Structure formats: C-alpha cells, structure tokens
C-alpha cells in the first residue's frame, strides 16, 4: 500500500512537470509569434520612412523620418534595388562586411527567414530584407532549452526509480538468501543425528560416510547464502586447493560420459578470497558447463597467474554462446533452461566483482563447439 502511494506520488510529480513545461512552451511560442509580428511592423514603418523621401515638398519636416530610420537598434537589415545590388546594410558586423561574400550570405539568410518589404524610391523599386534580432533568436532556442531540461529531468527520475527498484530487489534477494540458510539449518541438525545412528551399524557405516559428505556440502551452501548481503572478510587462500575441491566434488556426482580435466601451473597459487563464495563461483561455472553439454563432453579447468592476478579458465564442449549474448547472460533472470531462475552467472559476477574485486567474462565461444569462461582476481587488494 505504501509502495503504491509512493508510485502514485512520483507519477503525479512527472505529470505535473509535463503540464507546467508544456504551458511554458505554449506561452513562449505565443510570445515569440507576437514579438516576430512586432518586428515585422517595425520594418514596415522603416520601409514607409524610406519611401517618404520621395516627397517633393522640400519644406516638409524630415526629423520624424530620420528618427524612425535611426530607431532601429537591433534588427539586422539590407536594402537592395530590384536587380539585387546592395546599397545599405544595418546592424551587421562592419568588419566582416568588408569580406567579399559576407553580405551575400547574410542576404540569403534574410530571404529564408522573412518576406522582403517593397517600397518605391523614385522610379526604382527597393527591397528591405531583414532577419530576426538577437532577442528573437534567443527566444527561438528557449523552448529547446526547456525541452532539454525536461529530458534531463525525466532521465533523473528514471534513474532514481530504477535505482530504488534495484535496491528493493537486492533487499529481497538478501532476505531470501538468509531465510534459505535458516531453513536449511533445521534439517541439517536432524541429518547429523541420523548419521550418528548409521555409524553404530558397521554394515551401513559407508552410507553414513557418503551422507556426511553431502551434509557437509549443505553446511557450505547454508554458509554461502548467509553471507549474501553481508560484509565478507577475505583471507589469503590457496586458490588451487579451493578450486580442486569444488571441481572434484562435482566430478564425483556427474555423468561418467563427461571428461573432467584440472590443470594448474603450480600446486600453490595464493590470493585473497572467501572460500565459500569463491567456491560457489567455480561450482556455478562448472554446473553451467555440465548443463550446456547435456551429460556428454569435456570440461577443463586451468589455473595460472601473473604478477597481479590469478586467472581461472573453465572450458566446455557444449553448444556455445552467441557473441551478442556475452554480456546478457550475466543479467539476473536470463536463462536458456526450462527450469531455473537464471541467477547463477549473475550471482557469480557479483561475487567476483563486488566481493573479490575481480572480473568474469566469456573469453571465447563458438556455437556448436563450446565456451571458455575466464575469472580473474587480484593477488593483492592493496
């Protein structure tokens, strides 16, 4: 209910903003048209003043005419005869006017903007061409500035809404993860009791050993979920051992038609990591490879290092990934499976980048031949 009210308020603000900006744009357009008409009337008066010089009465007072002609302080204009020869120009850059083509370019602009004004001077026709004043030009671009402000305002609201949505989703995932860890803890306690009973029977002790391995695995999984959304300390660990344990566990519980291969350039390669979370990344990538091969093929995990990073590469012989999906597969909810939530690779990306300050990406893939995922984590966080 509260969320719905907040959403209604946001949409109310957006609609009100659109109405206000639209009203301002309309009023600006109306003002622009009125101002343009006023400039037109001013130029008509100037044309009439020029034509009054045809008055044969030498005793007529020409002061008013001169005042009209000198009253134009901001509208650029050019006066030509009927053949197009320029005789007078006003309010144009006098230095640039010395250039050969400057006045012709200005005349072309004026012809495009406004209809010329015709008046008779003696036996010849004269034309006054003019363009919008600086004030009118600035007013013309004012609506564009308002539209830009509206667009920026809309983008800010969109990003704010999206950020809030992502934050709400993160809170939901965190809550689900911790609740899952809590729920797993109850049957684990019971299973540990049954294991103790099975161990009392020598004939079934081997069953207890196998069940205990899975129970320990469940404890690890519960520990992983409990760490989602919490500050997770990193310790210097042997990444080779950590990766090998996860790799071997999945190999023992996978199809025998899959060839598992593990290589490392050294038995000990250390880096700051969290064993539960980083092991989760390995498992997600290996499980993803197993699924894409549909129970038959080859998986190779290779570990190497350089001065700054530990590099893990997981290669499969599965169906491959199209290049345009290299980034999309890491988005929450993306999956090609009929069952599943599509959070494995997204979660792996978050663990590698947010918790371990590393990088995970598809190094290469070819449809029908397989894929190589690459994970890099720094050897030193300082």
pLDDT tens readout for residues 196-223 = 767 666 666 666 666 777 677 677 666 6
Angle among Cα 251, 255, 261 to the nearest 5 degrees reads 40
- Write down which residue in 75, 106, 132 finishes a domain: 132
* Strand ranges of the sheet holding 86-90, from the earlier edge strand across to the other edge: 86-90, 77-81, 124-130, 117-121
Residue 224 to residue 277: CA distance in whole angstroms: 6
Q: What is the DSSP string of 42-62?
A: HHHHHHHHHHGGG---TTS--
Range of the domain at 46: 2-132
> 329: domain CATH number?
3.30.565.10
Q: Which residues contact 310 (CB under 8 A, 6 or more apart)?
A: 239, 269, 271, 303, 304, 376, 377, 378, 379
Total residues belonging to the chain: 382
Residue 175 lies in a domain: no
Residue 103 to residue 92: CA distance in whole angstroms: 9
Residue 183 lies in a domain: no
Residue 200 lies in a domain: no
Q: What is the pTM of this model?
A: 0.49
Nearest to 281 by CA among 311, 246, 319: 246
- Write down which residue in 132, 150, 169 finishes a domain: 132
Residue 190 lies in a domain: no
In terms of domains, do 244 and 124 share one?
A: no
Residue 220 lies in a domain: no
In terms of domains, do 104 and 240 share one?
A: no
The number of domains in the chain is 2
In terms of domains, do 240 and 102 share one?
A: no
- Write down which residue in 110, 132, 154 finishes a domain: 132
Q: Are 99 and 87 in contact (CB under 8 A)?
A: no
Residue 17 lies in a domain: yes
In terms of domains, do 113 and 248 share one?
A: no
In terms of domains, do 246 and 128 share one?
A: no
In the three-class reduction of DSSP (H, G, I as helix; E, B as strand; rest coil), residue 98 is classed as: helix
Q: Which residues contact 314 (CB under 8 A, 6 or more apart)?
A: 282, 285, 286, 289, 299, 300, 301, 372, 373, 375
Q: pLDDT tens digits for the chain (382 residues)?
A: 445 666 677 677 778 777 877 787 788 788 888 888 888 888 888 888 777 776 655 555 566 556 666 666 788 999 998 888 888 888 888 778 778 788 889 999 999 989 999 888 777 888 999 988 888 877 777 777 777 777 777 777 777 766 666 665 565 566 556 556 555 655 566 666 666 767 666 666 666 666 777 677 677 666 666 666 566 788 999 999 999 998 998 898 888 899 999 999 999 999 999 888 898 899 889 988 998 898 899 999 999 999 999 999 999 999 999 998 898 888 776 666 654 445 678 888 988 998 899 999 999 999 999 999 999 999 987 6
């Amino acid at each position: 209910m509260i969320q719905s009210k907040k959403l209604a308020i946001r949409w109310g603000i957006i609609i009100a903003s659109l109405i206000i900006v639209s009203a301002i744009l309309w009023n600006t357009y109306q003002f622009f048209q009125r101002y343009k008409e006023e400039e037109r009337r001013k130029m008509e008066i100037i044309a009439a003043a020029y034509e009054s010089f045809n008055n044969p009465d030498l005793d007529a007072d020409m002061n008013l005419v001169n005042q009209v002609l000198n009253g134009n302080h901001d509208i650029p204009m050019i006066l030509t005869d009927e053949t197009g020869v320029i005789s007078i120009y006003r309010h144009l850059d006098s230095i640039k006017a010395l250039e050969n083509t400057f006045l012709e370019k200005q005349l072309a602009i004026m012809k495009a903007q406004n209809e010329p004004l015709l008046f008779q001077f003696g036996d010849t026709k004269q034309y006054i061409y003019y363009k919008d004043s600086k004030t009118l030009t600035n007013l013309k671009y004012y609506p564009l500035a308002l539209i830009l402000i509206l667009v920026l305002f809309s983008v800010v609201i969109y990003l704010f809404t999206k950020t809030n949505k992502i934050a709400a989703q993160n809170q939901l995932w965190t809550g689900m993860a911790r609740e899952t860890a809590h729920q797993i803890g109850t049957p684990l306690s019971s299973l540990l009791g049954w294991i103790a009973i099975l161990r009392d029977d020598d004939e079934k002790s081997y069953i207890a050993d196998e069940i205990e391995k899975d129970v320990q695995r469940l404890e690890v999984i519960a520990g992983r979920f409990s760490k989602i959304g919490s500050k997770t300390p990193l310790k210097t660990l042997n990444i080779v051992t950590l990766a090998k344990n996860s790799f071997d566990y999945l190999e023992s519980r996978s199809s025998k038609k899959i060839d598992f291969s593990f290589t490392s350039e050294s038995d000990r390669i250390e880096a700051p990591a969290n064993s539960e979370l980083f092991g989760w990344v390995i498992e997600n990538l290996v499980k993803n490879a197993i699924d894409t091969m549909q129970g038959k093929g080859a998986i190779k995990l290779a570990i190497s290092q350089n001065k700054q990073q530990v590099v893990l590469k997981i290669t499969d012989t599965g169906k491959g990934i199209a290049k345009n999906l290299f980034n999309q597969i890491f988005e929450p909810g993306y999956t090609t499976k009929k069952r599943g939530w599509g959070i494995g690779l997204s979660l792996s990306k978050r663990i590698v980048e947010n918790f371990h300050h590393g990088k995970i990406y598809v190094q290469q893939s070819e449809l029908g031949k397989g894929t190589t995922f690459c994970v890099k984590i720094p050897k030193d966080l300082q």
